[in-house]
Chains A and B, each alone.
Chain A
Amino acid sequence: MARKTPNSKAVIPVVSEKSPNGGRIALPVGERRLSFGEKWSYAPAPEAHDYIQLKKRYQLFINGKFVAPHSGKYFPSINPATEETLAEIAEADAYDVDQAVKAARAAYKNVWSKMPGRERGKYLYRIARLIQEKARELAVLETMDGGKTIKESRDVDLPLVAAHFFYYAGWADKLQYAFPGRTPRPLGVAAQIIPWNFPLLMAAWKLAPALACGNTCVLKPAETTSITAMHLAEIFQQAELPDGVVNIVTGARTTGQALVDHEDINKIAFTGSTAVGKMLTQAVAGTKKKLTLELGGKAANIVFEDAPLDQAVEGIISGIFFNQGHVCCAGSRLLVQEGVFPQVIRKLRDRIATLRVGNPLDKNTDIGAINSRMQLDKICELVDSGLQQGAELVQPRLKLPEKGYWYPPSFFTGVTASHRIAQEEIFGPVLSVMTFRTPDEAIERANNTLYGLSAGIWTDKGSKIFKMASKLRAGVVWANTFNKFDPTSPFGGYKESGFGREGGQHGLLPYLELN
Chain B
Amino acid sequence: MKAMALPRNTNGASAVPPFPTIDQVMVEERAQAFGKRSIKTSAKLQGLKLAISMMDLTTLEGKDTPGKVAFLCRKAMQPMDPRYAVPSCAAVCVYPNLVRAAKKFLGESGVKVASVATAFPTGLMPLRLKLEEVRSAARDGADEIDMVIDRGVFLGGDHKRIADEIAATKEACGEAHLKVILETGELQTYDNVRIASEIAMRNGADFIKTSTGKVSPAATMPVTLVMLEAIRDYFYETGIRIGMKPAGGIRTAKQALAYLVMVKETLGDDWLTPDLFRFGASTLANDVLMQIAKTVDGNYQSADYFSLP
Q: How many A residues face the partner with a CB closer than 8 A?
A: 62
Is there a chain B Cβ closer than 8 Å to A51's Cβ? Answer: no
Interface status of A6 (Cβ within 8 A of chain B): yes
Tell me if A285 is interfacial: C-beta within 8 Å of chain B.
Answer: no
Docked-complex contact A32 and B236, CB < 8 angstroms: yes
Given contacts A1-B17, A23-B175, A40-B264, 13 further A-B contacts (CB under 8 A): A6-B14, A11-B7, A13-B163, A19-B163, A25-B240, A36-B264, A36-B268, A45-B40, A305-B11, A310-B229, A312-B23, A363-B37, A460-B23
| Nearest B residue (CB) for A339 | B11
Question: B82: CB under 8 A from chain A?
Answer: no
A-chain residues with CB within 8 Å of residue B242 when the two chains form the complex: 24
- Provide a sorted-by-A list of 11 A–B residue pairs whose CB atoms are within 8 angstroms: A8-B12, A8-B13, A18-B170, A26-B240, A34-B235, A42-B39, A307-B21, A308-B22, A308-B26, A311-B27, A460-B23
**Max count, chain B CB within 10 A of own CB: residue among A25, A34, A315:** A34
Task: Report the minimal beta-carbon distance from A65 to chain B, rounded to whole angstroms.
Answer: 40
For residues 302 through 333 of chain A, which have their beta carbon under 8 Å from a beta carbon of chain B?
305-312, 314-315
User: Which residue of A16, A32, A312 contacts B239 across the interface (Cβ within 8 Å)?
Assistant: A32
Chain A residues near B167 (CB-CB < 8 A)? 16-20
Task: For the complex formed, measure the closest distance between the CB of B127 and the CB atoms of chain A, giving whole angstroms.
Answer: 12
Q: Are A1 and B237 within 8 A (Cβ)?
A: yes
Distance in angstroms from B26 CB to nearest chain A CB is: 4
Contact A22/B41 with A13-B163, A34-B268, A40-B50 known, Cβ cut-off 8 Å: no
For residue B119, CB closer than 8 A to chain A, the reply is no
Is A41 on the interface with B (CB-CB < 8 A)? yes
Task: Pick out which of these stretches binds chain A: B181-189, B201-209, B211-219.
Answer: B201-209
From A35, A42, A308, A346, B23 is in contact (CB under 8 Å) with: A308
Query: Top 7 closest A-B pairs, CB basis?
Result: A27-B239, A311-B26, A16-B167, A45-B38, A39-B269, A34-B268, A308-B23
Check A43 against B25 for contact (C-beta < 8 Å).
no
Interface residues of B in 1-48 (CB under 8 A from A): 4-9, 11-17, 20-23, 25-27, 29-30, 36-44, 46-47
**A13 & B16 in contact (Cβ 8 Å cutoff):** yes
Whether B272 sits at the interface, judged by CB under 8 Å, is yes
Are A28 and B239 within 8 A (Cβ)?
yes
Residues in B with CB closer than 8 Å to A364 are: 37-38
Chain B, residue nearest A342 (CB): B236
Tell me if A467 counts as interface (CB < 8 A to partner B).
no
Q: With CB as the reference atom, state the residue of chain A lying closest to B206.
A: A24
What sequence of 0s and 1s flags, for each residue 371-397 of chain A, a beta carbon within 8 Å of any chain B beta carbon? Answer: 000000000000000000000000000
B182-202 CB mask vs A (1 if < 8 Å, else 0) is 000000000000010011001
Given the known inter-chain contacts A6-B14, A36-B268, A41-B43, please indicate yes or no for A16 contacting B38, CB distance below 8 A.
Answer: no
Known A39-B269, A40-B272: A19·B203 in contact at CB below 8 Å: yes
Neighbour of A310 across the interface among B17, B27, B46, CB < 8 A: B27
B265 at interface (Cβ–Cβ under 8 A)? Answer: yes
**A31→B37 CA distance, assembly (Å):** 29
The reply to whether the CB of A12 lies closer than 8 angstroms to some CB of chain B is yes
Q: Which of B25, B43, B160, B204 contacts A20 (CB 8 A)?
A: B204
The verdict on B164 contacting chain A, using a C-beta distance below 8 Å, is: yes
Within the complex, what minimum Cβ distance (angstroms) separates B32 from chain A? 11
Do residues B15 and A13 form an inter-chain contact, with CB atoms below 8 A?
A: yes
CA A37 to CA B235, docked complex, whole Å: 18
Distance A101 CA – B13 CA, assembled complex (angstroms): 70
A18–B27 touching, CB < 8 Å: no
Instruction: Give chain B nearest CB distance to A409 CB in angstroms.
Output: 14
A22 to B201, CA, bound (A): 11
B238 within 8 A of A: yes
Q: Min CB distance, A13 to chain B, in Å? A: 4
Q: Is B267 an interface residue (CB 8 A)?
A: yes
Q: Does B166 contact A (CB under 8 A)?
A: yes
Query: Contacting A309 at CB < 8 Å: which of B20, B168, B270?
Result: B20
**Closest chain A residue, CB of each to CB of B230:** A310
Closest residue on chain B to residue A10 by CB atoms: B7
For the complex, what is the distance from the CA of A480 to the CA of B22, rounded to whole Å?
Answer: 11
Hey, which chain B residues are within 8 Å of A275, CB to CB?
A: none
Q: Tell me whether B30 and A311 are in contact (CB under 8 A).
A: yes
Chain B stretch 74-101: residues in CB contact (< 8 A) with chain A: none
B26 touches A18 (CB 8 A): no
Q: Which residue of B has the minimal Cβ distance to A154?
A: B36
Beta-carbon contact of A314 and B30 below 8 Å: yes
Residues of the A chain whose Cβ atoms lie less than 8 Å from the Cβ of B251: none
Residues from chain A with Cβ under 8 Å of B14 in the complex: 4, 6, 8, 11
The verdict on B134 contacting chain A, using a C-beta distance below 8 Å, is no
Q: Which residues 321-356 of A sit at the B interface, judged by CB distance below 8 A?
A: 339, 346, 350, 354
B254 interface residue per 8 A CB criterion: no
**A17 and B27 alpha carbons, distance in the complex (Å):** 33
Whether B203 and A314, one on each chain, are in contact in the complex, defined by CB atoms closer than 8 angstroms, is no
Cα distance A107–B240 in the bound complex, in angstroms: 71
B20 & A308 in contact (Cβ 8 Å cutoff): yes
1/0 contact string of A149-174 vs chain B (CB within 8 Å): 00100010000000000000000000
Is there a chain B Cβ closer than 8 Å to A29's Cβ? Answer: yes
Q: Is A82 an interface residue (CB 8 A)?
A: no
Contact partners of A22 in chain B: CB under 8 A: 170-171, 178, 204, 206
| B151 close to A (CB within 8 Å) | no
A21 at the interface (CB under 8 A from B): yes
Contact status A24-B40, CB under 8 Å: no
**A418 interface contact, C-beta 8 A:** no
Q: Are B239 and A40 in contact (CB under 8 A)?
A: no
Residues in chain B near residue A310, CB distance under 8 A = 20, 22, 27, 229
Contact in complex: B15, A26 (CB < 8 Å): no
For residue A15, CB closer than 8 A to chain B, the reply is yes
Roughly how many angstroms separate A480 CA and B260 CA in the complex, as a whole number?
27
B4: which A residues are within 8 A, CB to CB? Answer: 12
| Contact between B23 and A19, CB atoms less than 8 A apart | no
Please, which residues of chain A bring their CB within 8 A of the CB of B50? 40
Tell me which residues across on chain B come within 8 A of A37, comparing CB atoms: 268-269
A481 within 8 A of B: yes
Please, which residues of chain A bring their CB within 8 A of the CB of B203?
14-16, 18-20
Pairwise interchain contact A346-B236, C-beta atoms closer than 8 A: yes
- Chain A residues, Cβ within 8 Å of B235: 32, 34
Which of A11, A16, A25, A34 is B267 in contact with, Cβ under 8 Å? A34
Question: In this assembly, does A7 line the interface, its C-beta being within 8 Å of a C-beta of chain B?
Answer: yes
Please state if B202 and A19 are interface contacts (CB–CB under 8 Å).
yes
Given known contacts A6-B13, A11-B15, A12-B160, A43 and B268 CB-to-CB distance under 8 angstroms:
no
In the complex, chain B residues whose CB is within 8 Å of the CB of A45: 38-40
B50 to chain A, nearest CB (A): 7
Q: Check B16 against A480 for contact (C-beta < 8 Å).
A: no
Q: Which of B9, B42, B202, B232 contacts A305 (CB 8 A)?
A: B9
Whole-angstrom distance between the alpha carbons of A28 and B167 in the complex?
A: 23
- A 278-311 binary contact with B (CB < 8 Å = 1; else 0): 0000000000000000000000000001111111
Q: Kindly provide the distance from the CB of B134 to the nearest chain A CB, expressed in whole angstroms.
A: 13
- Residues on A with C-beta less than 8 A from B240 are 21, 24-27
Residues from chain B with Cβ under 8 Å of A314 in the complex: 26, 29-30
Contacts of B47 in A (CB 8 A): 40
Q: Which residues of A contact B166 (CB under 8 A)?
A: 16
Query: What chain A residues lie within 8 Å of B36 (beta carbons)?
Result: 151, 155, 363
**Are B26 and A481 touching (Cβ within 8 A)?**
yes
In the bound assembly, the distance between CA atoms of A357 and B217 in angstroms comes to 36
Q: In the complex the two chains form, what is the Cα distance from A22 to B167 in whole Å?
A: 9
Chain B minimum-CB-distance residue to A13: B15
User: Which chain B residues lie closer than 8 Å to A14 at the CB level?
Assistant: 6, 15-16, 159-160, 162-163, 195, 198-199, 202-203
